[in-house]
């Protein structure tokens, strides 16, 4: 790791020098590794076409090209196609152990499908495929470890109250871990989901893929690592670092749409410039990158709600299962849900987006709009009652009380929700819950006051009331008990 690009064990000595020796041995077909080399080393503005040779060469080169382009839609279609691809030569080539291939192939196919669904399709489908993959192949396979991580992280993205410790990043350093190229490939797939965690893994993962790509001398691979490193700096809760963003954008604007979409999203986050989010969404749509589309549209809907944006965001939420958009802070996701409800859209996905945003006053308002709208889908109204029952605030109880007087099934559901809440008189107000939640982020009373445009004295009073209702002796205990009270 001597900072000389493509030198050392992670670069030229491993890949390019050994490649010559491997080709000289005449064990494998030269077109395969040479084609992968061309993909890895391609410049930012280059798309490497598949070779006009055998079909199995084209299949191999395509998957690497789609990864380095970040062409998620093409990757999803490739995964569906590869399941039925079985050339006869596999059983006769000396460099492919037939037993190993038979055990590993189904695992590889399941994960190819899972990645395609996670990044360009349906999260529930990706979770199911990742669960299946964990039962395939051999124990300890890197792909099985990644499947476990994908399942856990996709559950978080789908809005589940789920925590997950990423195993693959630790497994890389083991003697049986992935090769540098394999590590780059897997982490580049996982990194949008890693950004949803709060344990510092994003910065490490970004540096890892950037370093490996630099050792290989891969401009497109390095740009992906740099993009996420800048994202980690922008998400810093202390002092966001924007100094590298202009240089990243200058490079990204010369690249294809798949590589350009996330830097444009970062530009929008740093500047709140609507046009950046629009350009990011357009680039994402061209490569069917649904997570980036959802994130860009959520920012647009939070900053400037409109029926056109709401229609497209609502449709994507329903189709893909995303509830915690990538690079979208919870309060922005909550504002997006409020914007959707305010422009007339109704659906369980909107309520779940509001719930994932974590702002109790927004959750209650969105649920109320669903209950008061006679044209709202019935399943979304039942979801609104469930959400209000989980909140357990004074206003939520009042809304449930009114609804419980209805003679229909909604009234029955509201009465059940009321019966399951804490005793009357102990409910927290929406403001009290919001303040306790902000203390969980480590904010002081003065910082909370600045965010909510209230005085520090008012914050202290709300916090004292919340502690008394929760029976907590301090801020930390109040935050812990809130997790049990507000489900």
Tell me the two tokens of residue 486.
């507000």
**Those residues with Cβ within 8 angstroms of residue 228's Cβ, 6 or more apart along the chain or in another chain:** 191, 195, 202, 205, 206, 209, 210, 262
Task: List, for residues 437-460, the tens digit of each pLDDT value.
Answer: 888 777 888 888 888 888 888 888
Mean pLDDT in residue range 157-169: 89
Mean pLDDT in residue range 257-271: 96
Within-domain flag for 229: yes
Say what percent of the chain tops pLDDT 70. Answer: 90
Let me know: does 123 contact 324? Beta carbons within 8 Å: no
Pairwise CA distance, residues 234 & 351, whole Å: 28
Pairwise CA distance, residues 482 & 428, whole Å: 10
Task: List, for residues 199-253, the tens digit of each pLDDT value.
Answer: 789 999 999 999 999 998 999 999 999 999 999 998 876 566 678 899 999 999 9
Mean pLDDT in residue range 149-161: 94
Pairwise CA distance, residues 292 & 309, whole Å: 14
pLDDT at 253: 93
Within-domain flag for 130: yes
Tell me the two tokens of residue 295.
């994130």
Query: How many other C-beta atoms are found inside a 10 Å radius of the C-beta of residue 304?
Result: 11
Looking at residue 206, what DSSP letter applies? H
Q: What are phi and psi of 393, to 5 degrees?
A: -100, 170
- Residue 92, burial from CB neighbour count under 10 angstroms (0-12, 13-18, 19+): exposed
Torsion angle in degrees (nearest 10) through CA of 214, 220, 222, 225: -150
Pairwise CA distance, residues 448 & 440, whole Å: 11
Helical segments of 163-218, H only:
168-171, 180-194, 201-216
Torsion angle in degrees (nearest 10) through CA of 166, 168, 172, 173: 40
Let me know: does 235 contact 195? Beta carbons within 8 Å: yes
pLDDT at 58: 87
Within-domain flag for 161: yes
Looking at residue 243, what DSSP letter applies? T
Let me know: does 289 contact 326? Beta carbons within 8 Å: no
Tell me the two tokens of residue 448.
């909370």
Q: Helix (H) and strand (E) counts for the chain? A: 26, 0
Let me know: does 479 contact 437? Beta carbons within 8 Å: yes
Q: What is the mean pLDDT of the chain?
A: 87
Candidates 377, 309, 386; CA nearest to 347 is 377
Torsion angle in degrees (nearest 10) through CA of 289, 213, 186, 332: -40
Let me know: does 72 contact 259? Beta carbons within 8 Å: no
Task: List, for residues 329-384, the tens digit of each pLDDT value.
Answer: 989 999 999 999 999 999 999 999 999 888 888 999 999 999 999 999 999 999 99
Q: Count the domains in the chain.
A: 1
Tell me the two tokens of residue 248.
């990243």
Tell me the two tokens of residue 254.
């010369």
Pairwise CA distance, residues 163 & 159, whole Å: 11
Within-domain flag for 467: no
Tell me the two tokens of residue 148.
């476990």
Pairwise CA distance, residues 84 & 19, whole Å: 30
Torsion angle in degrees (nearest 10) through CA of 209, 212, 218, 223: 30
Mean pLDDT in residue range 62-89: 91
Mean pLDDT in residue range 458-473: 80
- Give residue 29's Cα distance to chain centre: 38
- Give residue 274's Cα distance to chain centre: 21
105-114, 367-376, 418-427, range with the lowest pLDDT = 418-427
Higher pLDDT, 369 or 2: 369
Tell me the two tokens of residue 445.
């009373």
Let me know: does 441 contact 472? Beta carbons within 8 Å: no
Mean pLDDT in residue range 152-164: 91
60-74, 146-160, 459-473, range with the lowest pLDDT = 459-473
Mean pLDDT in residue range 319-326: 97
Largest alpha-carbon pair distance within the chain?
82
pLDDT at 11: 45
Domain limits for position 204: 16-236
What pLDDT band is residue 484 in, cutting at 50, 70 and 90? low
Query: How many other C-beta atoms are found inside a 10 Å radius of the C-beta of residue 353?
Result: 32
Pairwise CA distance, residues 246 & 244, whole Å: 6
Let me know: does 308 contact 339? Beta carbons within 8 Å: no
Q: Is the pLDDT of residue 65 over 80?
A: yes
pLDDT at 171: 85
The model scores a pTM over 0.95? no
Within-domain flag for 56: yes
pLDDT at 437: 82
What pLDDT band is residue 166 in, cutting at 50, 70 and 90? very high
Q: Is the pLDDT of residue 423 over 90?
A: no
- Residue 80, burial from CB neighbour count under 10 angstroms (0-12, 13-18, 19+): middle
Within-domain flag for 335: no
What pLDDT band is residue 69 in, cutting at 50, 70 and 90? very high
Within-domain flag for 86: yes
Within-domain flag for 373: no
Q: Go through the chain and tell me how many residues it has.
A: 487
Q: Is the pLDDT of residue 76 over 90?
A: yes
């Amino acid at each position: 790791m001597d900072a000389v690009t493509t030198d050392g064990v992670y670069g030229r000595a491993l890949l390019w020098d050994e490649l010559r020796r491997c080709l000289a041995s005449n064990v494998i077909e030269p077109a395969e590794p040479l084609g992968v080399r061309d993909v890895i080393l391609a410049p930012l503005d280059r798309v490497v076409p598949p070779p006009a040779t055998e079909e199995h060469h084209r299949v191999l080169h395509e998957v690497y090209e789609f990864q380095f382009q970040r062409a998620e839609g093409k990757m999803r279609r490739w995964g569906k196609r590869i399941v039925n691809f079985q050339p006869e030569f596999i059983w006769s080539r000396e460099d492919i152990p037939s037993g190993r291939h038979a055990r590993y192939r189904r695992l590889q196919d399941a994960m190819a499908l899972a990645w395609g669904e996670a990044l360009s399709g349906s999260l529930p489908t990706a979770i199911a495929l990742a669960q299946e993959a964990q039962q395939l192949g051999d124990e300890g396979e890197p792909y099985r470890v990644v499947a476990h991580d994908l399942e856990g992280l996709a559950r978080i993205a789908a809005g589940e109250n789920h925590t997950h410790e990423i195993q693959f990043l630790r497994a890389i350093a083991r003697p049986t871990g992935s090769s540098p190229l394999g590590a780059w490939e897997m982490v580049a797939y996982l990194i949008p989901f890693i950004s949803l965690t709060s344990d510092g893994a994003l910065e490490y993962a970004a540096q890892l893929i950037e370093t490996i790509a630099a050792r290989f001398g891969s401009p497109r691979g390095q740009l992906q690592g740099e993009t996420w490193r800048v994202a980690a700096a922008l998400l810093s809760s202390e002092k966001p670092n924007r100094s590298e963003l202009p240089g990243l954008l200058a490079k990204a604007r010369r690249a294809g749409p798949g590589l350009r979409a996330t830097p444009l999203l970062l530009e929008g986050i740093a500047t709140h410039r609507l046009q950046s989010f629009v350009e990011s969404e357009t680039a994402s749509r061209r490569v069917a990158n649904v997570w980036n589309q959802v994130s860009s549209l959520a920012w647009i809907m939070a900053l400037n709600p409109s029926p056109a944006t709401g229609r497209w965001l609502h449709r994507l939420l329903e189709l893909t299962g995303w509830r915690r958009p990538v690079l979208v802070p919870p309060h922005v996701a909550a504002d997006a849900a409020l914007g959707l409800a305010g422009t007339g859209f109704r659906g369980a996905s909107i309520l779940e987006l509001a719930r994932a945003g974590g702002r109790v006053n927004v959750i209650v308002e969105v649920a109320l709009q669903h209950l008061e709208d006679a044209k709202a889908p019935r399943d979304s109204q039942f979801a609104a009652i469930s959400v209000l029952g989980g909140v357990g605030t004074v206003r939520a109880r009042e809304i449930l009380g009114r609804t419980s007087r209805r003679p229909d099934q909604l009234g029955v559901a509201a009465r059940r929700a009321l019966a399951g809440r804490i005793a009357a008189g102990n409910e927290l107000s929406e403001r009290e819950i919001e303040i306790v939640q902000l203390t969980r982020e480590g904010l002081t009373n003065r910082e909370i006051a600045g965010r909510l445009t209230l005085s520090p004295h008012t914050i202290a009073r709300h916090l004292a009331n919340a502690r008394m209702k929760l029976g907590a002796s301090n801020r930390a205990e109040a935050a812990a008990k809130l997790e049990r009270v507000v489900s």
